[in-house]
Structure formats: C-alpha cells, structure tokens
Amino acid sequence: MSWKIVHIDLSQDIPMLSSDNNIHVVFWWRHIPLAHTEILTTQLPMPATQVTNLAASAITPTIGAYLLKQNLLEDTPIDFEALVRLTHPLTKLEYISQQLQKTVSIIICTRNRPEQLARCLQSLQNLSQPPHEIIVVDNAPTDDATMQVAKMSGVKYVKEPRPGLSIARNTGIRHSTGEIIAFTDDDVVVHPDWIIRLQEAFDDPKVMSVTGLVLPGELETEAQVVFEKHLACFNFGYQPKTYDSDFFQFTKVFGAPVWRIGAGANMAILRQAVNLVGEFDERLGAGAAGCSEDSEFWYRLLEAGWICRYYPASVVYHYHRGSVDSLKQQMYCYMRGHVTALLVQYEKYNDRGNLRRLFKTMPKWYIKAIIKGNRYKYNTLIAELIGCISGVIYYIINYKSPQPRLIRGAKNSLFFPPC
C-alpha cells in the first residue's frame, strides 16, 4: 500500500523514474505546484520523455486557471484555444518575491505532541519571509513538554487550560497582533514560501480568508494512502478558486459546500474578519464536536457577503494518521463535526439547505455507498455513520451553549467516543 512521493520541478531536467513502490508524483514550476499523478510499479521504469508527456497533460488545466484567470468552481472547461495562443506559458508563472505588506501572526494549536510540534516549528525557521510572530497555544496539556519545545524554539507560548481547538484558536487570536492570522497544525511541515503566498492572495479588500494546498508528507501506511487517495479530505486541487456571494447564494439551497474551501491546517484570516463575524464557534473543532470550526467560520463570511479564496500556491505538507484505528476515529470526528456544523449554520441563519444536506443528500449518499460497498473495505463507513448520529446528539446537548459539553459517558462509550 505504500507510495513513494516524488516532487519534480519542470524548470529543471526531468528524470527517469524507477522504484520498487508505486510513485505519487507532484509536478511543480519552481515553487508553484501544478498537478500530481500516480505511476504504478507496472509502469516502471519510466523514461524521462514519458514523464514529460504525463506532466504536460496533467498541468494544462492549472496553467490555464492561473494565466487565463478562470475561476473553475463548477469544473468549467479551460479555454484551450486561448491557452494555446500563449507563448511560453510556464515562464509567465514566474514570481518575484516582495516584502509582505501586512504583518502576519502564525498560530499553532497543539496538545501533547511535542515531537510533531518540534518538526513543524523547525520548518517555520526556513520561511523565505519571517512572520511578525509565531504563537504556540498549548491546549489543556498534561505535562510541560510542549512548553519546553516552544521555549527552545524561541516562540511565544500561551497555555490554554480549557480543551477544544476552537477555544485554542480564539485564545491565539486574542494574544496575536498581526493583521493576518495564519493557522497551521502541529503535524504539518510548511513550504518556505507558505506565508508569502498566503499574503499574495489577499489582493482584494473583500477577501477575508485564504486557504492553501495540503500535500501528503508521506504515504507509507494503508491508513495514510486511504486518507489521501480515497477519502480526499485535504487536497482540493491545484487551481485557484474564489468563493463569493454568487457561489453562496447559488449553493445554499442545497447546503453551501463550504468544506470545499480548504482545510484549517493551511488557513489564514484577516483580523478584520473576526471583528466582522466573530470568533470560532467553540462548540466545533477537535476536543468538542470534532471538526468544521473552520468551514462554519467561512460560512459566516460568505453569508455576510465577503470572499474566501483557495490559493494552492501556498503549500504545507501534512503527515496523515498512520494506523487504521486512528483513521476510523478521525473520520468519526470529521462527520460528527460536519453534522454539528450543519445544525449550527441552520441555527444561526435558518438556511434550510443545511437540513436538506443532513436529512436528504447525506443519507442518499451513504445508502449508495453501502450498496456499492466502496467504503466497507476501508473500514470507515460505520465510523462515519456513527459520527453523523453522534453529531446530532452532540448538537442537541450543546444547543446555543457557551461552554461545550460532551455526551455523558462518552469516554466509556463504544459508539460515541469523544473527539
């Protein structure tokens, strides 16, 4: 099940590929990711000419999206005639580094994972533009290991005794001073241009939040491969996308798919956004409902008429969970958080599309999944379904509650474990 990850810069000589494993290839033009493709061991070794042909086919839509300024939210076809008329299109992607125009605070919320945190903080030392500040929020720790890592790294350390990712994010915001607040996770390594690219995407005063591309750090276990290639929770493509009020108004009748905007592991918001729509809902996120504190925040921004942008030139590398058991727990939490967020969004805005997704669209999807059996072999279907039920129960218990409460007896429950 393991895959070798290979990164190929198309501005350099393209190599022949050979390996005993399947290969997950990511094509770049200098520091801009353009596409990925999969090469099976049965196709190896692969000569450089064939790799070049694969690259040309894979990157064309992304080149078109960047150079033709197309917003491909609904899989609109690229205007290939216009693209063909361009001379040396790849060279037009050249990027001239500029000094940041806004100050950036980086916030990492973590709990009892000092080794992963140390790796993340080390990658932040290699940023091509240093941020205004780096803040580590130590969320309900059981020891002082995180504090020691933060001190050795020379970053600002904040202890938050109340558990919950949204609580930790809000604490980080209150202790930050930058105009842009960038979030990443402790199990992430960032690309050197991560902050520059996030900053670059705030070029429109209506843009209040920017997300970026999350690539896999490794694909060595079955769980990591399933998460990346079959569950597709993090990689939202290589083409920039703009989510505005038109997108929101068009889709909200079905339950606006704000989860497509990106992932909280690679997200930035303007401080102004918090002033406009409030902080993260503390009923959501890891340590509470399970996740979706980020997408619910984007929902509020879009509902208020602001813009969210997915900008895949901003890259981080995520180390997915390694075991099948931890993957099941993760998918349980994801669905519990997703369902809770749908109900929270309905509570706040009375948008019936959220209920339509919860009680019509999702059940139909899972019935088809059961019939096809396409998730049974990955052992996540049952965990997801239990997560959906748990999400409804969790919301009822925490309806408009300022302080999230867990399901009673959750720690000892086989069916409703905590997140």
Integer-rounded Cα radius of gyration of the chain: 21
Q: Are 44 and 16 in contact (CB under 8 A)?
A: no
Q: How far apart are CA 32 and CA 314, in angstroms?
A: 8
Given 3-state DSSP classes, what are the helix, strand and coil percentages for the chain, each rounded to the nearest 5?
45, 20, 35
Tell me how far the alpha carbon of residue 177 is from its chain's centroid: 24
Q: How far apart are CA 324 and CA 411, in angstroms?
A: 20
Tell me how far the alpha carbon of residue 416 is from its chain's centroid: 25
**H or E element: which one contains 326?**
helix 324-349
pLDDT at 412: 44
pLDDT at 275: 96
Tell me the backbone φ, ψ of residue 132, rounded to 5 degrees.
-65, -40
Other beta carbons within 10 angstroms of residue 360's beta carbon come to: 12
Other beta carbons within 10 angstroms of residue 41's beta carbon come to: 13
Taking alpha carbons only, the member of 417, 226, 236 closest to residue 327 is 226
pLDDT at 413: 59
pLDDT along the chain (419 residues), means of 10: 94 95 96 95 96 92 81 60 66 61 95 97 95 97 96 95 97 98 98 94 95 98 93 92 95 96 97 97 96 98 98 97 94 97 97 98 92 71 94 93 64 66
- Non-local (6+) Cβ contacts of 354 within 8 A are 255, 342, 343, 345, 346
> Can you list the domains of the chain with their CATH numbers?
3-93 (no CATH), 104-322 (3.90.550.10), 325-412 (no CATH)
Burial of 274 (0-12, 13-18, 19+ CB in 10 A): middle
Amino acid at 341: A
Q: pTM score, two decimals?
A: 0.93
Q: Are 160 and 168 in contact (CB under 8 A)?
A: yes
